[in-house]
Structure 1
Amino acid sequence: MTTSDSMTPATSMKPIIVITPTVTQFCHQAWQINAKALYVENDDSKTYLITDMTPFHPVSHIWPDHPADRGFVNVGDVQYPVEDCLVGAIEQSTGKLHIAADIPVKRDAEGWAFVVVHQLPASASMIKVNDEVMLSVDKEYQASLSRGHSAGHIAFLALNKVLAESYWRKDADRKDPLGSYDFNSYAQVTSFVTPELCTDKYRLGKTLKKRGLNVADMLTNLDGIEADINQMIKGWLADSTPVAMRLEGEALTDSRYWEWQLDSDTLVSIPCGGTHIENTSELKSLSVKLTQLDDQHIEMLTHVIR
């Protein structure tokens, strides 16, 4: 979506304020912070608010697997719900905001600042640039997504490993962090995180068969593969092990990595922009369900059992 001509930036009658990239705090286990309003734009249905920093995780416009956080923005005694949280990019020479799919540049393009855009009700147009606001994330909702997202990573590592042991007839070029043939990378079509759940859809097409996956055998024994995955995950989660996010910077466009200390000798590192758990003890246990959708697609549901 773009900011329409009908939307009015609160700064339109003032000199252009250079907007800097949002300092993100959603990987820091921070759920409430005070911040400064840098940009406010509104129309009859909504208000867009950009602050200098935020604990809110926005939904990605490139790979929208992890939903936006929920929560509130307080200005003095007035509280506004955050209706959505989006990725935006501001062209610094003009101050024009572009949102989500209408962002015309790649990340870190010169002259552009990537920002977290908080979508508030139209009544929030009362917020002014330079106002101090308090941003409060729904901690429990974010935690439920974090568990679902980390569960999805653990499940696809187990899926890759089970398939690598019995269902590949060739040496695949791509390997995952555990050294298994990376079925997840080759075949994943979509991945969606919801509270306590990760839903992954995979395509078993001709290309995957040519790469060496025995698709027919895999589909025939889907129940057995599912059982092996669940058994493997049960072993992995028998001991509590740490999970951390490694950040290469605080900007939205800086790389972030999910890192899991599987055992004393194995550190798993996966590029990921979502929010996550800090220890596998938060998951209690997982239940993976594999379902054949049609001749070329399977679905993996990874439930967090608490």
Structure 2
Amino acid sequence: MIPVTGTTITYASGATSSTSTVVHVADAGDGRSAIVVGATAFHPVDTAWPDQPADRGSLRAGGATHPIVDAVVGATQGDELVLGRDVPVRTGTDGWTFVVAHIVEGDGIAEGDTVEIEADAAYRAALSAGHTACHLASLALDAALADAWRKETPTDALGAPAFDALAIQESRILPDGSRDVYRIGKSLRRKGFDPAAFDDPAAVAERANALLAEWIATGGAVRVDADGPSLADRRTWVCELPAAEVRIPCGGTHVSSLSDLAEATVSLEAQPVEGGLEVVMTTTATRR
């Protein structure tokens, strides 16, 4: 039976392997099974904001190894477990129990079985580097665009006008990088943003990259703080930067120190779209 607290997760602290007991098995369709365990080190893709993809790896039970073909968030208000995109609420919504569902081919795994779960450590490390670099890049972009605002506006964790939060349409964490898509339309212009700031995207990127180089050179500590051990508990990315300790809500995985990164750089492309401008920021991280 699924515990009312949902799945305990250990990936936020850097774990890539775990041993636990199967608490629920559900039909995931197409001949696949969704395996829910009490605790897991396997990072799933979130349904509401699917920026970081699921880990890659395997599940071992009864002497057999099963590749994990996907890992998604599942939720229940009672007996029925809803999986992935069918989950109608954000993770952490009151009244719901949230779990990590490990998707494997076939069946043969049952409630009560002890299973060993192993995430691909190299792939995890690449995603963690990409996710940390993504957060740094968003802060650097905000700072590089600080002079483009004509009105008072909400600010980011470093006190700069929060362009990233106000304009973001999509964010995807990639191995050793990320891709973020921003939309500059009527709403953002009304908030006081001047689209002319992107007349020279390379100049904006140059300012952001100078900040990124300065921050990474400090080798500041990075960690994930959690309100509790379960999947639904709030987690926060914390990074020591020269100006302040930065805190950003985040459910993903990260490096443990900026010294793990040799470099992080961004490139920017801006193109007209109906009603405004689309800006794509590509972030590349190089690990030591």
TM-score (norm 1): 0.88
* Structure 1 residue 109 displacement after superposition: 3.1
Name the structure 2 match of 1:74. Answer: 60
Name the structure 1 match of 2:124. Answer: 142
Secondary structure of the equivalent of 1:237? helix
* Structure 1 residue 108 displacement after superposition: 4.0
Evaluate the alpha carbon distance shift between residue 18 and residue 186 of structure 1 in structure 2; reply closer, same or farther with a 3 A threshold.
closer
Instruction: Report if the CA contact (8 A) 2:218-2:241 is conserved.
Output: no
Which amino acid is the alignment partner of residue 25 of structure 2?
V
Which amino acid is the alignment partner of residue 211 of structure 2?
M
Q: Which runs of 5+ in 2 are unaligned?
A: none
Name the structure 1 match of 2:80. Answer: 96
Name the structure 2 match of 1:87. Answer: 73
Q: How many residues of Structure 1 are paired with residues of Structure 2 in the alignment? A: 281
Q: Deviations over 1:237-283 (max 9, x none)?
A: 112110000100111111100000113x6100000111111101112
* Structure 1 residue 44 displacement after superposition: 5.3
Matches within 5 A, 1:285-300: 285-295=263-273, 296-300=277-281
Matches within 5 A, 1:118-157: 118-122=102-106, 125-157=107-139
- Give distance in 1, aligned partners of 2:152 and 2:80: 49
Worse-matched range after superposition: 18-27 or 194-203: 18-27
Worse-matched range after superposition: 155-164 or 205-214: 205-214
- Give distance in 2, aligned partners of 1:121 and 1:177: 43
Evaluate the alpha carbon distance shift between residue 44 and residue 99 of structure 1 in structure 2; reply closer, same or farther with a 3 A threshold.
closer
- Give distance in 2, aligned partners of 1:176 and 1:297: 21
Instruction: Report if the CA contact (8 A) 1:19-1:90 is conserved.
Output: no
Q: Deviations over 1:139-198 (max 9, x none)?
A: 11111111101101000101101111x2112221x1001100000011011000010111
Instruction: Report if the CA contact (8 A) 1:159-1:229 is conserved.
Output: yes
Evaluate the alpha carbon distance shift between residue 301 and residue 37 of structure 1 in structure 2; reply closer, same or farther with a 3 A threshold.
same
Name the structure 2 match of 1:280. Answer: 258
- Give distance in 1, aligned partners of 2:174 and 2:265: 15
- Structure 1 residue 26 and structure 2 residue 11: aligned? yes
Instruction: Report if the CA contact (8 A) 1:23-1:54 is conserved.
Output: yes
Instruction: Report if the CA contact (8 A) 2:237-2:249 is conserved.
Output: yes
Matches within 5 A, 1:169-184: 169-172=150-153, 174-184=154-164
TM-score (norm 2): 0.93
Higher strand share: 2
Secondary structure of the equivalent of 1:126? coil
Q: Which has the larger radius of gyration?
A: 1
